[in-house]
Every structure is written in C-alpha cells, then in structure tokens.
C-alpha cells in the first residue's frame, strides 16, 4: 500500500509544482463560461429555459475534469520514454498497486481542477441551489475523475507514442464532451441522439452535477451514481489488466 501512497503523492506534487499547467488548463473552461454562458444567455432565456449560466456551469466543471483526467495518461508514455516507468515496474510491488496509485493521483489532480473551475463559476455568477448538495456533487466529480483517469491509463498502456496518444485522445474527448448534454438540454432530442447520449458515461456525470448543483437532472441522481460507479469499476479493472501487460 506504500506504493499507492507514494505514486498518489508524486502525481499531486507534479501538479502543484506546475503553475503554468494549472493556469493554462483554466483557459478553455473560462472561455466556454464567458463566451457561451453570457453569449447564449439571452437566447436561452427567451426560450423559457432560465439562466444559461446556471445550466452550463455543471457541464463545464465536468469538461475540466474530463480533459485533465484523460490526459493524465500521457505521463505513462512520458515516463516510459525517459526510463522512470521501468524503474517503477521492477519494484517488488504488484503492478495493480502501481496503476491504482497513478490513477488515484491523476483523479485527485482532475478533482482539484474541477474544484478550481467550480470556484470560478461562483465568481462569474453561478449559484448552487443548495449548499448541502455540494457533497453529492463532489462525489460525482470524484467518480468522473476516476473513470476517465482509468480510461486514459488503459489507453496509454497500449501505446508508446506520444503523438498517437494525443490523436486518440482528441478523437475521444470531443464526442464524449459534446454528446454528454453539457451544452444543451437532454429533453426533446431526436431518438438517435438520445440513444447515443444514454451510453456516454460523461452524460451521467454531467446530469449528476446538475441534479446536485442546479436540481435540473434528467436521469435521477441515484441512476447517475449507479452508472458512474459500475463503469468506473469496469474501466479501472481493465486499466489494471492492460497496465500489468506493459512490456519493459
């Protein structure tokens, strides 16, 4: 268990030391919040949907967690190229502990990133419906972070090329984000789009954040949590298996 703690702590130290990484990763969420939140706000209000910023903020929090979590997998390729991963894998500890420690560290970093974006939304004008429900929103955020950090780790375990990883991530991130309902309501959609969204795990994360922060969830918080827990367990287990097969 010491390996899990050491790797978890190492990931967090990396994040806290990289101030440019923290600041740079806030640019896109801030742009979405300002450009879309205020730009489309009047149109959203005229359609009788209320404040678009209130609707958008949970989706942007989920987006920030998604991006940070998935791209944490690139550190595996980086460590492989510079030899650190080999030194880690030859240590007398089970590989699943190494994978879990890295995943836990990446998920912690992604959760911190989501918390920073949440604080930014408060400054801009977002207001949670209930302070008591922030706890459930925090749980949903952790599950999103674990799920997509595990997915990033699983994909990185199959690759040794940084450019290839970035291409695959870009191919995955945009559909996952745009088909999660982060930017538009999930009601009244075409059947095909509804079916696609229903198999997107991020859709349940976004819905869980909306149910907790804005009381506007569609699936129900219980279903959101159930789906996130099941998919997270499956992804982390798959990631552990693939990580154990890495050749050094």
Sign of the dihedral through C-alpha 228, 233, 236, 241: negative
Question: Which contiguous run of DSSP H or E holds residue 78?
Answer: helix 74-81
Count Cβ atoms within 10 A of the Cβ of residue 179 and give its class: 0-12 exposed, 13-18 middle, 19 or more buried: middle
| Spatial CB neighbours of 105, under 8 Å, sequence gap ≥ 6 | 7, 8, 9, 10, 11, 12, 72
pTM score:
0.89
The three-state DSSP-derived secondary structure of 157-187 is HHCCCHHHHHHHHHHHHHHHHHCCCCCCCCC
Task: Give the pLDDT of residue 143.
Answer: 96
Q: How far apart are CA 181 and CA 179, in angstroms?
A: 6
Q: Which DSSP state fits 91?
A: S
Q: Answer left, alpha or beta for residue 234, where phi above 0 means left and psi between -120 and 50 means alpha.
A: alpha
Q: Which DSSP state fits 22?
A: H
Task: Give the pLDDT of residue 210.
Answer: 93
Q: Which residues of the chain have pLDDT under 50?
A: none
Q: How far apart are CA 116 and CA 110, in angstroms?
A: 10
Residue-wise pLDDT for 22-40, tens only, equals 677 778 888 888 888 888 7
Residue-wise pLDDT for 204-233, tens only, equals 999 999 999 988 888 999 999 999 999 999
Task: Give the pLDDT of residue 18.
Answer: 66
Query: Which tokens go with 197?
Result: 């969204």
Task: Give the pLDDT of residue 66.
Answer: 92
């Amino acid at each position: 268990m010491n390996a899990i703690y050491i790797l978890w702590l190492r990931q967090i130290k990396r994040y806290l030391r990289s101030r440019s990484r923290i600041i740079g990763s806030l640019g896109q969420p801030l742009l979405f919040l300002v450009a879309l939140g205020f730009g489309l706000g009047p149109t959203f209000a005229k359609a009788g949907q209320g404040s678009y910023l209130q609707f958008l903020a949970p989706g942007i929090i989920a987006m920030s967690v998604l991006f940070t979590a998935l791209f944490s997998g690139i550190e595996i390729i980086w460590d492989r190229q510079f030899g650190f991963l080999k030194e880690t894998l030859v240590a007398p500890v089970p590989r699943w502990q190494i994978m879990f420690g890295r995943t836990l560290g990446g998920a912690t970093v992604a959760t911190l990133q989501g918390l920073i974006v949440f604080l930014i939304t408060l400054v801009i004008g977002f207001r949670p419906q209930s302070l008591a429900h922030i706890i459930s929103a925090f749980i949903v955020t952790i599950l999103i972070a674990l799920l997509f950090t595990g997915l990033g780790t699983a994909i990185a375990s199959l690759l040794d090329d940084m450019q290839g990883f970035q291409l695959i991530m870009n191919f995955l991130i945009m559909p996952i984000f745009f088909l999660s309902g982060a930017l538009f309501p999930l009601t009244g959609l075409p059947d095909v789009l509804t079916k696609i969204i229903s198999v997107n795990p991020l859709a349940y994360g976004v819905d869980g954040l909306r149910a907790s922060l804005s009381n506007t969830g569609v699936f129900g918080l219980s279903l959101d949590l159930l789906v996130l827990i099941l998919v997270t367990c499956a992804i982390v287990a798959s990631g552990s298996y693939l990580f154990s097969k890495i050749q050094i």
